[in-house]
Structure 1
Amino acid sequence: MAAPLILLEDEDILRHELADFLGQTGWIVDAVANLQTFRACYAPAHHRIAVIDLGLPDGDGMDLVRELRASGNPLGIVVLTARSAVPDRVMGLVEGADHYLPKTADLDEIDATLAALSRRLESSFPTKPVWLLEQAPRHLTPPGHPPIPLSQQDYLVLHAVMARQGGLVSRRDIVTALGEDFFAYDQRRLDTQIRRLRRKVEVATGMALPLNTARNAGYCFFASVTIRA
């Protein structure tokens, strides 16, 4: 299986085309459309590669490239952009991109570039601790800690977000998983449920629940996961 990657591209058609193609070739793809959602969804412990457009609705992708490099996390970065002039390519590589490709690049070339980068990065990533979610009995087992008993509501919320490990799960999807009508559901109930889960894990383990919040959009569980029925 190819490495998990996060794709940042604001053009809807191109984003869906790239995500579908890369998914078919074996990549685990989380596709986002802007910097805000990228920052909410990006998980250093999960994502191995970031494919980043530069011209974005809420900022410049090069600022994100610099930010990611400054973090020190072992991340492969591929810039995929319409800015194809030589000075732009040189700046992109100098500022931290591993590869700099034009949007006119062939899909197979993009896939091959990502595969080569993934091979080079393979030894840079340590073995990831795994969070275990079990249905019977309903338990969440954080790495290195005893199981935490869960209510049915706890389990349904965690299953919804953990099943999309590293991916953004919408509030609507979570509400649906709870068996509720999204339009009739009081969103404050979900906020309270998430707060309770975070508190339950923190009290039991001293650890933070690895769950990022994308404001008004959803949640992203960014740690490695095993789910057992």
Structure 2
Amino acid sequence: MKILLVEDEQLLRHHLCVRLAESGYVVDAVADAEEALYSAQEFHHELAIIDLGLPGMSGLDLIRTLRSRGQTLPILILTARGSWQDKVEGLGAGADDYVVKPFQFEELEARLNVLLRRAAGFVQAAISSGPLRLDLNRKQAFTNEQPLGLTAYEYRLLEYLMHHQQQVIAKERLMEQLYNDDAEHDSNVIEVLIGRLRRKLNAACALQPIETVRGQGYLFTEPCR
């Protein structure tokens, strides 16, 4: 899952990038609203973390601008302002949740997981499709309750496709979910990963849920819950 992080404090931005990457997220990290607006326009993010005390355009105005431009991704506010009035103003601007500095990373991650699940239409910390189950907290896949040996990239790809079941996802969008924008990567990596996933799912439980839509991308066809 790709996250947009908007935080002007360099040390905190770096720390969050490291911790989020360790948790399996791909992070686009920027320091101000102008960069954030550009990144949100050019790339597809599943969620945004926005500090309110940004230089230039404030975090509140950034949130309002994103919403006015039709951005529907979940937004979590990260700020030192902790009064109830600040929370009401932030939520009223279009944010979905609010974390006050200083904070524990575990709480932040838990809130991110909840927002991502709700955005995808799931209320539990797991996604199931027949014998296939993803534990979203542990970032593990199981078939018939037995661990399915996936690499980190294979898991990210499968989780994204299941979060967007019955939607055709372009290869370019899948690439964005696996790599940072400045990372170099082979244009054929998605085909390789899809091939591996198909073989592992077929061998483990005779499940073939990933369909290729010629010229458009890939589709997870099995219903999830």
| TM-score interval for Structure 1 and Structure 2 normalised by the shorter chain | 0.5 to 0.7
3-state SS of 2:86 partner: helix
What TM-score do you get using the length of structure 1 for normalisation? 0.56
1:128 counterpart (133, 148, 169): 169
CA 1:163–1:69: 2 relative to 1, 3 Å: closer
Distance between the aligned counterparts of 2:62 and 2:114, measured in 1? 22
> Any conservation in 2 of the 1:41–1:167 contact (CA below 8 Å)?
no
Distance between the aligned counterparts of 1:101 and 1:77, measured in 2? 11
1:23 counterpart (12, 17, 21): 21
Give the partner amino acid of 1:25: S
> Any conservation in 1 of the 2:7–2:50 contact (CA below 8 Å)?
yes
Distance between the aligned counterparts of 1:14 and 1:54, measured in 2? 14
What TM-score do you get using the length of structure 2 for normalisation? 0.57
CA 1:84–1:127: 2 relative to 1, 3 Å: farther
Q: CA deviation digits over 1:137-184, x for unaligned, max 9?
A: xxxxxxxxxxxxxxxxxxxxxxxxx78977443xxx9xxx8xxxxxxx
User: How many Å apart are 1:67 and its aligned residue?
Assistant: 1.2
Structure 2 residue aligned with 1:227: 187
Taking the TM superposition and a 5 Å limit, the aligned residue runs for 1:158-197 are 167-169=180-182
CA 1:130–1:34: 2 relative to 1, 3 Å: same
Q: CA deviation digits over 1:43-80, x for unaligned, max 9?
A: 47620100000111222010011111222233000000
List gaps (5 residues or longer) in structure 2.
122-162, 190-225
Q: Using CA pairs below 8 Å that are at least 6 residues apart, which structure has the higher relative contact order? A: 1
Distance between the aligned counterparts of 1:113 and 1:164, measured in 2? 20
Distance between the aligned counterparts of 1:121 and 1:99, measured in 2? 13
* Aligned pairs, number: 145
3-state SS of 1:55 partner: coil
CA 1:108–1:165: 2 relative to 1, 3 Å: closer
3-state SS of 1:58 partner: coil
RMSD (Å), alpha carbons: 2.9
